[in-house]
Amino acid sequence: MSNICILTKKKKISKNKVSHSNKKNKTFNKSNFHKFSLWVCNFFLKIRISSKSIKILKKCIF
């Protein structure tokens, strides 16, 4: 599975890990993903979305 959220288009972020001697190494920060199930047309649809998207969905639906 890809690490891109369907709703918010969030993906992993590249950043620099800086040492004491100021050497910079590339690292990646992954998004916070969860499995979420939605009720759509008489069946549950399981999707993998970020926690920010879950907050948005809960705010709109409930």
Nearest CA to 3 out of 25, 26, 27, 34 is that of: 34
Q: Is the dihedral of CA 50, 52, 53, 59 positive or negative?
A: positive
Give me the pLDDT at residue 62, please: 67
Tens-digit pLDDT profile for residues 37-57: 888 889 998 989 999 998 988
The whole-chain average pLDDT of the chain stands at 89
